[in-house]
Amino acid sequence: MPARLSIDGESQSFEEQTLGTDFYKSDSGVVALKIDGELRDLATDLASLDGATVEAVRIDSPDGLNILRHSTTHVLAQAVQQIFPQAHLGVGPFIEDGFYYDFGNIDAVTPELLKDLEKRMKRIVKENQRFVRREISEDAAREEEKDQPYKLELIETKGSGSDTASVEVGHGGLTMYDNVNRKGETVWTDLCRGPHLPSTKYIGNGFALTRASAAYWKGDQNNDQLQRIYGTAWPSKDELDAYQTRIKEAERRDHRRLGQEMDLFSFPEEIGSGLAVFHPKGGIIRMEMEEYSRQRHVQAGYDFVCTPHITKGQLFETSGHLSWYKDGMFPPMHVDEERDADGNITRQGQDYYLKPMNCPMHSLIYRSRGRSYRDLPLRLFEFGTVYRYEKSGVVHGLTRGRGFTQDDAHIYTTREQMREELSSTLTFILSLLQDFGLDDFYLEMSTRDPHKMIGDNALWDEAEETLEEVAKASGLELVPDPEGAAFYGPKISVQARDAIGRTWQMSTVQLDFNLPERFGLEYTAADGSRQRPVMIHRALFGSVERFMAVLLENYAGAFPAWLSPVQARLVPVAEAFNGYCEEVAAKLREHGVRAEVDESDDRFGKKIRNAAKEKIPFVLIAGGEDAEAGAVSFRYRDGSQENGVRIESAVEHIERVIRERRNKPEEEKLEADL
């Protein structure tokens, strides 16, 4: 009987062996197959798939890019073993925009070695080696990999749940991939689950090695230290060039470099890794962010609260954090017991923890008195500083710290109100992000991890269904994130794209039926019964520090006028006009504008360059003609200039741009009637 199956939505039948490589031989963009949702090599026999649903996987699709990048890691590993035949192979997964491979028993990786490896990889690609999959028994795999200690460990841990093992070992059994040359000879082999490209020619010249670093086997500092080589791969050289251009632009926008250049913040070694201090100019930006957020929250009906930085460990036992999140918390501080003059214990010893979350304390505020359905929804909000014991390898400027301030809110509502409250919360979040100049969003839906959750499945079902309904009703694209939820409830994450197209996770909204249960929270319903509220966790900025970093990189340091530490700088063309500039600056300050006069000894041209380097929104120049006419000249950040602008018009325009929170550079320019 012929095999009947659906291929790309069309019914097909096959009476004899037909490989996917033959079926798609006229379409070089197809590199793999998705069979009933599972990725497989293109060289799969379609005649063996009776009843299956088959989809082509193109090289420029997300799955295709991952396969391209993983295949390129095999070429890299082959090149490494050409130089270091005794190299111990670790794992070589794809990652966002690229790949890496870990190696033991090789020399330190230098820039010169990376260049040599790239040349060797290009030769391997040109050889058009086929990636050939074969199944293998565990005993045979051990024999083949007897000189590879890390591969042997992966063989032993197959099926144990090891994330690292699952990268390289197929779930259905062990598989090897051989690189076969045109003569049919196997020139290299690796233990891997695949799938891979049909051959190395599909890699083309759209790849590059980017850097190297030290890494621990399986990410455990107690294991061997390895050399990790990173790279990137794209379907074409043009796409590689575009990516490298984006990377250079991202480096130019790096908030750590800009923060130092603009004197916004620093990370003193004396304080510790991941703990920032904000300088006066950075403090102004932070103040503006927080003040505007407070204003919007008051308008939206939130109540402000304040909670301490440390608490007894019992609180986090109640919430579940000590069971599920202890590795992310700083070690406890033990407070010894206290005794009176007679030696009697008046207080037992206690362990205190720096808080990693604000939600348990907000629940105590809710529980501090009786609540009625008339009190709900109750929206509690604070700028609460939290502390998390991040590993040193993941600490990254303001975007990943060990101490940071969350604009944290917890909303307590009835079951009947929760959909409307979730919808209005999401609308509020998007509106506030747009006020800061971000307007390109999609949503990510994180659902339960069955191995890391509290509460019963029925409540999780209801929570996930409710969140999904709200997310879809927003009209934004919704991307699934299976098993990405926190232990107490599912969440929606707002993902925002910045000025150069990068995606940042911004705000989160979590629906929680479990913590109200653990804290025994109740309210009196209209019928007099005692009911359990629903809890919504919501962080809008995520953290103030991280949000500032995102804005700093989005604007490349050129903050909108309303956020800029210095909003206007007066530059006299000569010292004789310092007094006139001070008069103009005083008028601006009267209207709440942060204005200053450059009275330094620098030459006029240097003063202009300094203002440009500091990304001042409005540079006002004044000389003799200006003083006589009661005017100034406007110089904008793009270098354009408007001359002879009356002081009153200048003050009015700057004040209006700031008050209206205009975020685009073109909106900062003088209106035609001025």
192 among annotated binding-site residues:
no
Q: State the Cα–Cα distance between residues 166 and 157, nearest whole angstrom.
A: 9
Collapse the DSSP code of 150 into the 3-class scheme (helix H, G, I; strand E, B; otherwise coil) and give the result: helix
The DSSP-derived string for 37-93 is: TEEEETT-BGGG-TT-EEEEEETTSHHHHHHHHHHHHHHHHHHHHHH-TTPEE----
The contacts of residue 24 (CB under 8 Å, 6+ apart) are: 30, 42, 56
The contacts of residue 147 (CB under 8 Å, 6+ apart) are: 86
The catalytic residue positions are 359, 388, 406, 408, 410, 491, 537
Helices 111-126 and 62-83 cross at an angle (nearest 10°) of: 110
Contact 511, 422 (CB under 8 A): yes
| Polymer length of the chain | 674
Q: State the Cα–Cα distance between residues 529 and 635, nearest whole angstrom.
A: 67
537 among annotated binding-site residues:
yes
Q: H or E segment at 345?
A: strand 345-347
Q: H or E segment at 514?
A: helix 514-518
Structure tokens at 360: 């348990």
Q: State the Cα–Cα distance between residues 388 and 354, nearest whole angstrom.
A: 8
Neighbours of 138 (CB within 10 A): 12
Burial 370-390 (b: 16+ CB within 10 A, else e): ebebeebbbbbbbbbbbbbeb
Residue ranges of the annotated binding site are 359, 410, 537
